[in-house]
Amino acid sequence: MSKVLIPLANGFEDVEAITVVDVLRRGGVEVVTASVGDEVSVLSAHGVEVKADALFGAVAEGDFDAIVLPGGGEGTENLRQCAPLVQRLRRQHDEGRLICAICAAPLVLVDAGVADAGLQMTCYPSMMMELDRPYTNVPVVEDGTLITGQAPGSAMLFALVVLKALRGEAVARKVARGMVSDVLG
């Protein structure tokens, strides 16, 4: 079974985090949400309190097939400030494992040095100048072991592309059909 870590910071974008958790779990992926703060309770950008599965420090050393970062302005800034997360992302990169980020969160990947300069990426349009690398103005970009998504509106497609990378196209299409979603075409 594939295993995914989703770090949550206060101010995370609700739909980007919850959609990914939902889609991946429907697809048979073990998902661990981890608060990068001092408490398992995390407050979303829109005031929804979510109880993470664990504190980041308690699970950071585990083996994960993918790490997925939800965006949100404040959430991304809080992820950027989390030195243990930056270290864990570098380990994930060094191991050649999947790293995914949506909205403003691709900036965390750039800060951590895990988004190689030649890779194509997307992000929230107002963040593209901060990427300081090639930017593609599309909902989702998959390049090597990096998957990036543009915004809350692309959260479903982003989640399904991550699922496809982990479990294959047949599983991703089955989940999409079950959710009556045609985003995979």
CATH number at residue 87: 3.40.50.880
The answer to the question of residue 184 being in a domain is no
DSSP state of 135: B
Torsion over CA of 54, 46, 67 and 165, rounded to 10 degrees? Answer: 130
Structure-token pair, residue 114: 């895990």
Considering 82, 100, 103, 123, which one is annotated as catalytic?
103
Instruction: Verify whether residue 103 is a known catalytic residue.
Output: yes
pLDDT mean across residues, the chain: 96
Residue in the block written with tokens 């107002």: 126
111 part of a folded domain: yes
This model's pTM is above 0.95: yes
Tell me the per-residue pLDDT of 114-136, one tens digit each, with 9 for 90 and over. Answer: 998 788 999 999 888 887 777 78
Mean pLDDT of each 10-residue bin along the chain, 185 residues long: 97 98 98 98 98 98 98 97 98 98 97 89 89 84 96 98 98 97 88
Q: Report yes or no on 97 lying in a domain.
A: yes
Residue 37, judged by CB atoms within 10 A of its CB (0-12, 13-18, 19+), counts as middle
Summarised one tens digit per residue, pLDDT across range 54-79 is 999 999 999 999 999 999 999 999 99
Cβ atoms 4, 23 nearer than 8 A: no
CA-atom Rg of the chain in angstroms = 15
Boundaries of domain holding 168: 3-178
